Chains A and B, each alone.
Chain A
Amino acid sequence: MKGRNRLPGRRRRPARATEPRGGRTRLALPAALLVAAGFAAWACAGWYASAHDEHVAYSRHRDAALDAAEQGVRNLNTLDHTELDHGLALWEESATGDLLGDLRRSRAQFSRQVRSARTTTSARVLSGALTELDDRAGRARAMVAVRVTVRTPDRKTAVKDSRMLAELTRTGGGWKLNALGQAPVGDTGTAGPDAAPDAE
């Protein structure tokens, strides 16, 4: 203590000035550390919650199922008589379960019909929505509004809007249609899961 008193004045003054600053730093740094650690923990927790949000996973299944429903309806209402095999392969690619069985059973007969009628059918999805989604069971129901255009060899076109109801199953290759049919009209109307576009 006394030794320090002997230091010349100009050396003592800066020494005193640093002393409280040093004390403040010793308090400020741990405080900053606490704040930074708290902020980082909070931000990381938010990040984790966002990345693992089950609503987002569910939303992704919803969007994937709806995409598959719309694409499936588009595929199953599109057929060019000149590219029959390619078109029918696309049909089978979009289907699974009962619908796939139906398509395979009727494939030969249907090919003959379309070849002789020489029609080209194309489809545009106007709108679509999922009505049910069970992401655990991998099942969904969708409704799709589709506009189907049928072109006959004499270049006549017939445009028809259809209200399609689809059932989907999640497979190893993504969501696929396992049932597809037109929404019944009135109480008496019924429509089987027959996806064949009108080849009349």
Chain B
Amino acid sequence: MPTARHLVNRRRRIDRLDGRPVSRSPDATAHRPSARAATPTRSRADRTAASPTAKSSGRGGWWAPGLTAVVVLLAGLGGYACLRTRALDDQPVRHNTALTDTAATSRVKGLVDTAVRDLFSYRYTDPDRTRAAARDRLTGAAVRQYAALMEQVHAQGPAQRLVLTTTVTDSGVEVLDGGRARLLVFADQVSTRTGKDGGDTVAAAMFAVDAVRQGSTWRIAGIDTFRRAQDTGPPQEQPQTPQSP
């Protein structure tokens, strides 16, 4: 019995000392002396010790750098795709939504058509209606440009008993970029004078209009009548020259 207990105790002590001697001892003997010998090997020993099993430590050898590389590649791909998208989105062709945005295109076209009709129509009995249109429909440089265009009409209108009826025959949106638009307008202006040089005349007008969106509506911010440099006379909106079709 004492012998048996002694043997059992001894075995237990050996077990306690060496852990699982059969599986662990080659590993342990391999590492212990080298760990004592030099620092780099010590760190390797530590890593082995940190890993719960030899199997998982072997997998960690490639999956961490491998995954990191994949993460870097994916991030790089994403960044490149972002740059390409931005380059595509920055193309001028994208900024102009004339005709591509049909709703916005027809809205600005409709508003400018009515604005031009109201602005360049005049009735000597009700000149305030034209002035009201100017207040509602114009902004910025167009206020001054329009005043110059209509100066004579307002000055001579009552004496000539002038009636101007402007019809937009064609209009097209050249550029529509967010809250800014540029339109080309062809309009006919019929003027009726009942004064000394009475009669009807039709004037053909073409001009470009810059429009800006203000709140829910569009206002005309610029009127380009394509005046020639040497031109000093009234621009085309003035019904000065009768035109035979």
Check A143/B186 contact, CB under 8 A, given A14-B46, A128-B174, A183-B170: yes
Q: Does A6 contact B (CB under 8 A)?
A: yes
Check A46/B50 contact, CB under 8 A, given A30-B67, A145-B226: no
Q: Which residues of the other chain, A, contact B170 by a CB distance below 8 angstroms?
A: 131, 143, 163, 165, 183
Interface residues of B in 183-210 (CB under 8 A from A): 183-184, 186, 188, 190, 202, 204, 206, 208
The chain B residue sitting closest to A54, CB to CB, is B100
Q: Does A15 contact B (CB under 8 A)?
A: yes
Contact with B along A157-200 (1 / 0, CB 8 A): 00101010100000000000000000111101110000000000
Q: Does A44 contact B (CB under 8 A)?
A: yes
Q: Does A111 contact B (CB under 8 A)?
A: no
Number of residues on chain A facing chain B (CB within 8 A): 59
Q: Does B94 contact A (CB under 8 A)?
A: yes
Of the candidates B101, B174, B190, B228, the one having the most CB atoms from chain A within 10 angstroms of its own CB is: B174
Interface residues of A in 92-144 (CB under 8 A from B): 126-131, 133, 142-143
Could you tell me the distance between the alpha carbons of A58 and B105 in the complex, rounded to whole angstroms? 14
Could you tell me the distance between the alpha carbons of A59 and B173 in the complex, rounded to whole angstroms? 13
Could you tell me the distance between the alpha carbons of A129 and B171 in the complex, rounded to whole angstroms? 8
Interface residues of B in 67-83 (CB under 8 A from A): 67-68, 70-72, 74-75, 77-82
Interface residues of A in 18-35 (CB under 8 A from B): 18-19, 22, 25, 29-30, 32-33
Contact with B along A1-26 (1 / 0, CB 8 A): 11110110001001100110010010
A2: which of B19, B91, B224 is its contact (CB, 8 Å)? B19
Of the candidates B35, B43, B74, B202, the one having the most CB atoms from chain A within 10 angstroms of its own CB is: B74
Could you tell me the distance between the alpha carbons of A55 and B243 in the complex, rounded to whole angstroms? 42
Could you tell me the distance between the alpha carbons of A124 and B78 in the complex, rounded to whole angstroms? 47
Q: Does B223 contact A (CB under 8 A)?
A: no
Contact with A along B203-245 (1 / 0, CB 8 A): 0101010000000000000001010100000001000000101
Check A50/B88 contact, CB under 8 A, given A3-B18, A18-B50, A163-B206: yes
B206 touches A42 (CB 8 A): no
Could you tell me the distance between the alpha carbons of A130 and B45 in the complex, rounded to whole angstroms? 77
A11: which of B42, B169, B188 is its contact (CB, 8 Å)? B42
Could you tell me the distance between the alpha carbons of A47 and B83 in the complex, rounded to whole angstroms? 9
Q: Does B138 contact A (CB under 8 A)?
A: no
A142 touches B172 (CB 8 A): yes
Check A127/B226 contact, CB under 8 A, given A22-B50, A58-B99: yes
A29 touches B67 (CB 8 A): yes
The chain B residue sitting closest to A49, CB to CB, is B85
Check A129/B174 contact, CB under 8 A, given A43-B79, A47-B84: yes
Could you tell me the distance between the alpha carbons of A185 and B68 in the complex, rounded to whole angstroms? 73
B85: which of A2, A15, A19, A47 is its contact (CB, 8 Å)? A47
Q: List 26 A-B contacts (CB under 8 A).
A: A14-B43, A15-B49, A18-B46, A30-B67, A33-B67, A33-B70, A36-B75, A37-B74, A40-B75, A40-B81, A42-B78, A44-B81, A46-B82, A50-B84, A51-B88, A63-B96, A126-B206, A127-B226, A129-B184, A161-B226, A163-B170, A165-B170, A183-B186, A185-B202, A185-B204, A186-B188
* Residue positions of B touching A, CB distance < 8 A: 15-20, 24, 28, 35, 42-43, 45-47, 49-51, 60, 63-64, 67-68, 70-72, 74-75, 77-82, 84-85, 88-89, 91, 93-94, 96-101, 169-174, 183-184, 186, 188, 190, 202, 204, 206, 208, 224, 226, 228, 236, 243, 245
